[in-house]
Amino acid sequence: MILDGQDLAPAVAAGRSEELRNLIAYHNRRYHQLDDPEISDAAYDLLFTELRHLETRYPELLDPDSPTQRVGAPPLEKFQSFPHPSPMLSLANAFTEKEIRDFDERIQRFLGRSSGLFPGGAETIAYVIEPKLDGVAVNLLYEHGALVTGATRGDGTTGEDVTLNIRTVAAIPLSLLGNGGLPIPKRLEIRGEIVIATAAFRVLNERRLEAGEQLFANPRNAAAGSLRQLDSRITAKRPLDFFAYAIGMAADMVMKTHWEVLAALKAWGFKVHPFARRVDQIEDCVQGYGELYAAREDLSYEIDGMVIKVNDLDLQDELGAVSRSPRWALACKFPAYQETTVIEAIDVQVGRTGALTPVAIMTPVQIGGVTVSRASLHNQDEIDRKDIRIGDTVVVQRAGDVIPEVVKVVTSLRKGTELPYAIPQTCPVCGSAVIRIEGEAAHRCIGIACPAQIKEHIVHFASRGGMDIEGLGEKMVYQLVDAGLIKDPADLYFLRAEQLLPLERTGEKSAGNLLRAIAGTRSPFLEKLIFAFGIRHVGESMAKILARKYAALEDIMAATVDELTTIRDVGPEAAKSIVRFFQEPSNLQVLAKLKTAGVAPINRLFSASTEASGALSGKTFVLTGTLERMTRQEARQLIESRGGKTSESVTKKTDYVIAGTSAGSKLDKAKTLGISILDEETFFLLMEST
Ligand code: IVH
């Protein structure tokens, strides 16, 4: 139930909003931290909506810590700098197993206990190993359990205050949970990594590609870019996530080991990476390093290594730091996912929607155990922005299961013989013209019979909004194309039953049905046929607009851009797209073939005023109920195009009432007044005869 706060006493509203915040925080944690939601997304949304209603109605209840406040705030001019209460150190690196063992030896030597016992009576040093997440390190300051500041690492001493952005990250608790009676230090720094999951990163980049926006090179760049947005409303839309891995300064801390720290982080409501393990000795770290490396590609988040930390906090203190790195921790890096190679050629692929994608063909190179020789260059804009030329030496990366990507050109290695690239002006698959629609990043082939797109084209041609051929769905179209029976939409009308019989799940009966369904679409409404062509920018409503303006397909084919743009609702891009479509010779061939096949559209919408017959002049119509074949708006236009009038209410002056299904009181009134009542079919017959 949603309480809209209409009649709640302020005290009740306050109580309820508090309750809702707690509930939402709890379910947030189940979802984000524990990955184990208890309620559906819809039920969660309901709680959220209720809280938002309450806060709108009682603004005094609005609390900056409310989960409703994660949507971002107006943009900042710049970030303030933030001196970290305790410095954010960096880690010493290791690249080999030997270096991992050396690390342990160094610690033993430093402690001078190579012969004695370590805390807990052990003879070896206990460590915690964790994945080294490849994101952006942040420092979160909590006071009395409430998030006060979130800052980037900066130079380790001073970072940037990105609190508004941090607050939009759902995995970061705005106030800490007091789970299990664990005390929350009065002032507490939480250290962790802002990341973006590989899958979410891919979706993010796909959207940016569609929108013609610059792509992010990898999840880390995307996370960093999102975190440093001056407009936190943009950050709020990015799929940022957070894992905690340490505590900085903490007033009155009671933990004795790093393992307890991780447990506390979880209890307070943070996510801790599930791979984190406590181990008894350095050999377990070496083994963990191998295991993590093997699991690397399967993880949901990108990692660039493993971090080893001495578990005992007193021991950590004793070890201290050298320059800016602690002696008690080590980053064991994995081999980079980047290599350099040479672009030998640029190929073009034509996708099923006609988009041309340039693909770099590179000298094969091993990256993280996989041979890479091709990488999508996405579109001409990306090529231009990175200034990629054929012959260039480039940095290529392959991260996780993310597809290989050309990161940048090594311009210092240019010889001057490299060739700039321009996407072809004709389709490499069918030779039709290639155009680029303004506002879109992709170049597209406009051939209706292009083999690369033919399946999609025919599926669209036969779809409900198009020719509406029953029984001709995606599966059937694919079979017909794969069997070589159709190469363009017009071929459908030349199919014979014996050609269909060998197809999967096609008997005499279904073949007959399909052929009848196809033949039954030889007299389509003009707007359906136009829509069926799949011209870019011509959806169902645009097709209707055209059919209303032009009596015949030939008239549309002859229209110029200037003429089309005089029509309301036809913009310059749509006009250009229409003209180009009908200029393309291969499309004209298909149209001619459709004509030969006997496909002849009829125009029921045409209503140019000069041609109005006026046959219905002086007649008043009232429409009631639902019409099957057209909207009321269309019916009204039909009547008006013949000189008739329409009215909303039935009176003695009404000449006809057109009754669709579930007609109500207007129909009753018409009956009482003895007015002529037409059903939909009769109405059509009347329209056809006038
Ligand atoms: S601990 C003093 N643990 O690695 C120890 N760091 O060079 C402070 N990182 O800037 C860091 N995952 O961005 C730690 N599990 C992890 C980590 C981790 C990633 C990053 C962090 C830091 C850099 C250290």
Are 13 and 5 contacting, i.e. CB atoms less than 8 angstroms apart? yes
215 pLDDT tier (thresholds 50, 70, 90): confident
pLDDT in tens, 396-431: 988 655 678 898 899 989 999 999 999 999 999 999
Mean pLDDT of 178-192: 86
Answer yes or no: same fold for 10-69 and 620-689. no
Provide the pLDDT for residue 344.
97
Domain ranges, ordered by start, for the chain: 10-69, 92-333, 338-420, 425-606, 620-689
More confident call, 185 vs 192 = 192
Write phi, then psi, for 507 (nearest 5 degrees).
-100, -175
Q: How far is CA 412 from CA 361, 394, 416, 419, in A?
A: 21, 11, 11, 16
Q: Please classify residue 525 by burial: count the beta carbons closer than 10 Å to its beta carbon, then call 0-12 exposed, 13-18 middle and 19+ buried.
A: buried
Answer yes or no: is the C-beta of 133 below 6 A from any ligand 1 atom: yes
Active-site annotation holds for 132 = yes
Mean pLDDT of the chain: 89
Q: Please classify residue 651 by burial: count the beta carbons closer than 10 Å to its beta carbon, then call 0-12 exposed, 13-18 middle and 19+ buried.
A: exposed
With 60 as the cut, is the pLDDT of residue 4 above it? no
Mean pLDDT of 140-164: 93
- Return the residue whose CA atom lies nearest to atom 18 of ligand 1: 132
In the chain, the percentage of residues whose pLDDT exceeds 90 is 59
Are 524 and 462 contacting, i.e. CB atoms less than 8 angstroms apart? no
- What is the CATH superfamily name and number for domain 10-69? Helix hairpin bin (1.10.287.610)
Write phi, then psi, for 443 (nearest 5 degrees).
-90, 145
Answer yes or no: is the C-beta of 281 below 6 A from any ligand 1 atom: no
CB proximity list for 678: less than 8 A, separation 6 or greater: 656, 657, 658, 659, 686
Instruction: Give CA–CA dist 448/593, Å, rounded.
Output: 12
Provide the pLDDT for residue 609.
43
Q: What angle do CA 609, 546, 597 make, to 5 degrees?
A: 115
Mean pLDDT of 322-349: 91
How would you label 318-349 residue by residue, b for 16+ Cβ within 10 Å and e otherwise? ebeeeeeebbbbbbbbbeebbbebbbeebebe
Exposure on the CB side of residue 398, measured as CA atoms within 13 A: 22
CB proximity list for 682: less than 8 A, separation 6 or greater: none
- Output Rg (C-alpha) for the chain, integer angstroms: 34
Mean pLDDT of 563-567: 93
Provide the pLDDT for residue 120.
65
DSSP strand E in 161-240: where? 187-195
pLDDT in tens, 599-651: 999 988 876 543 445 678 788 999 998 888 777 878 888 888 787 888 888 99
For domain 338-420, give the fold: OB fold (Dihydrolipoamide Acetyltransferase, E2P) (2.40.50)
- Return the residue whose CA atom lies nearest to atom 12 of ligand 1: 132
With 90 as the cut, is the pLDDT of residue 161 above it? yes
More confident call, 445 vs 122 = 445
**3-state DSSP assignment of residue 553:** helix
Provide the pLDDT for residue 510.
92
Mutate to test the pocket of ligand 1, among 132, 285, 322 (most ligand atoms within 8 A of CB): 132
pLDDT in tens, 462-505: 999 999 999 999 999 999 999 999 999 999 999 999 999 999 88
Mean pLDDT of 247-269: 90
Answer yes or no: is the C-beta of 193 below 6 A from any ligand 1 atom: yes
Instruction: Give CA–CA dist 17/4, Å, rounded.
Output: 11
**Ligand 1 center to residue 135 CA distance, Å?**
10
How would you label 206-226 residue by residue, b for 16+ Cβ within 10 Å and e otherwise? eebbeeeeebbbbbbebbbbb
Instruction: Say yes or no: domain 92-333 is CATH 3.40.980.10.
Output: no
**Ligand 1 center to residue 137 CA distance, Å?**
7
**Ligand 1 center to residue 91 CA distance, Å?**
7
For domain 425-606, give the fold: DNA polymerase; domain 1 (1.10.150)
Instruction: Say yes or no: domain 620-689 is CATH 3.10.450.40.
Output: no
With 60 as the cut, is the pLDDT of residue 448 above it? yes
β-pair partners for 426: 433
5 pLDDT tier (thresholds 50, 70, 90): very low
Q: How far is CA 509 from CA 486, 487, 512, 515, in A?
A: 21, 24, 5, 10
